């Protein structure tokens, strides 16, 4: 039974504060202890569960910290798509189900992203959706080499590359022509962005592969993880992407599976 809950709203969204207060009062009425922390400011996480109030982007903001703490997450959608979130604002009455333990686990793999420069770590992060290598605002071509387990896999020249989880396959990767991947498949998806060659195609790898991306010295590139602020990469930076040892647990209380979500959301 759920007893302690951390509500994490995106307070930049219109009406988010009012909806958050409505949810807090509802959950308190069900007997739960509730704290409210802005999704961007959540630093510790030890409740029985986290409820995000916003959209998929809000859930992405707390995903890595919740996974590290082993705390499940359920999302209330105030965004346009809400592919990862579970409930709409009109369905708040269903929260009583998960308070009583009537929910199922939807576990999602994560990726660990590590950038090394001259042998030193300069950036690292965890991705639920994807890591995106892209060019600068002047739309210059990005050239990079892809290695898997130390062996050269491909060379990409174009607007960049998306390295996505199955969860991220329905995000930017889909828009770039990548396939939709069922979350339980647990693979790593490499999708070129507007490639400048005819033979560049998405590549699906085992999650056990160690993917290393090396930026061509002629390229000016940036990396962004789960849509967060882009970090500039310099010549010969090594970007290493591996499966993260922990998973994120999404809480599901409606009998709607991945196939139904594809049909209704996309």
Q: Which residues are catalytic?
A: 56
Measured between alpha carbons, how far is 104 from 98 in angstroms, rounded to an integer?
9
Residue 155 · residue 146 · CB < 8 Å: yes
Residue 153 · residue 188 · CB < 8 Å: no
* Tokens of residue 134, six digits: 């892209």
How far is residue 17 CA from its own chain's centroid?
Answer: 24
End-to-end CA distance of the chain: 34
Measured between alpha carbons, how far is 100 from 90 in angstroms, rounded to an integer?
20
């Amino acid at each position: 039974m759920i007893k302690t809950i951390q509500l994490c709203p995106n307070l930049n969204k219109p009406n988010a504060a009012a909806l958050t207060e409505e949810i807090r009062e509802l959950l308190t009425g069900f007997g739960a202890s509730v704290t409210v922390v802005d999704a961007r400011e959540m630093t510790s996480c030890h409740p029985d569960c986290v409820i995000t109030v916003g959209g998929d982007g809000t859930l992405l903001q707390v995903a890595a910290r919740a996974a590290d703490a082993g705390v499940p997450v359920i999302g209330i959608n105030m965004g346009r798509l809400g592919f990862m979130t579970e409930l709409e604002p009109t369905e708040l009455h269903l929260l009583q189900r998960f308070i009583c333990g009537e929910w199922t686990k939807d576990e999602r793999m994560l990726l660990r992203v590590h950038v090394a420069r001259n042998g030193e770590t300069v950036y690292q992060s965890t991705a639920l959706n994807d890591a995106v290598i892209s060019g600068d605002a002047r739309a210059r071509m990005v050239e990079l080499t892809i290695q898997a387990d130390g062996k050269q896999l491909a060379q990409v020249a174009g607007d960049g590359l998306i390295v996505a989880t199955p969860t991220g396959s329905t995000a930017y990767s889909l828009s770039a022509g990548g396939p939709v991947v069922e979350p339980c498949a647990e693979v790593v998806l490499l999708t070129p962005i507007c490639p400048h060659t005819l033979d560049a195609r998405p590549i699906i790898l085992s999650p056990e592969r160690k993917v290393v991306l090396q930026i061509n010295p002629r390229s000016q590139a940036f990396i962004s993880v789960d849509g967060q602020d882009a970090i500039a990469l310099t010549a010969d930076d090594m970007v290493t992407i591996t499966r993260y040892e922990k998973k994120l647990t999404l809480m599901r209380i409606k009998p709607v599976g991945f196939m139904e979500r594809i049909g209704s959301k996309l």
